[in-house]
Amino acid sequence: MPALTSLLEEHRQAISSALSTEFKSTFASLETKLDAVRTTVTDFGERIEILETNASSTEECIQALETSCSTLTEACARLRAKNSDLEGRSRRNNVRRRNDLKYQGTPIRIYEDYSPDVLEQRAAYREVMAKLYNLGLRPALLYPARLQITDRDGNKRRFSSAGEAATFVRSWSAS
């Protein structure tokens, strides 16, 4: 039996040695792979930090550009309105009527020349004005595009938009 015990001890040591060698090589391989994963994670962490920094600076630039764009849009709207007003005023003053104009006994009528912007603004009132005429009221368009309504009693009301005038027409029709 001592021979069997020594044989078992030899096999145990051989298996233990083989397993130990196998475990060491496997752990070394896993450690190498783990180091590669750690390096990759570190690289990705650095990239993410760079991307966050870039995103932050880009966001600041976008906010500055939006502010600038908003300012420029407001300035452009003011300048368009000013240009439209100046063009409309210059066109209105093109011809002044002194007396009744006639050519070979035929009366000549001269109408004001409005800019395209003013014509577009005034066109918004067409439908409302037609309804007002049908109701027996006297609408008049004031320059550049304001509606004045004179009722049957001679009272005058002024509206700055076609929507306001349409609301008035609905309330007048209902009463």
- Sheet with 156-159, edge to edge strand ranges: 138-142, 146-150, 156-159
Token pair of 55, please? Answer: 């995103």
Whether the pTM exceeds 0.75: the reply is: no
What are the residue boundaries of the structural domains of the chain, listed by start? 1-111, 114-174
Give the residue-averaged pLDDT of 107-134: 85
Superfamily of domain 114-174: L1 transposable element, C-terminal domain (3.30.250.20)
Q: How far apart are CA 12 and CA 20, in angstroms?
A: 12
| Tokens 């006639």 found at | 102
Q: Report pLDDT digits (tens) over 16-28.
A: 888 888 888 888 8
Give the angle subtended at the CA of 171 by the CAs of 165 and 175, to the nearest 5°: 140
For residue 68, is pLDDT > 90? yes
Encoding tokens for residue 129? 């004005």
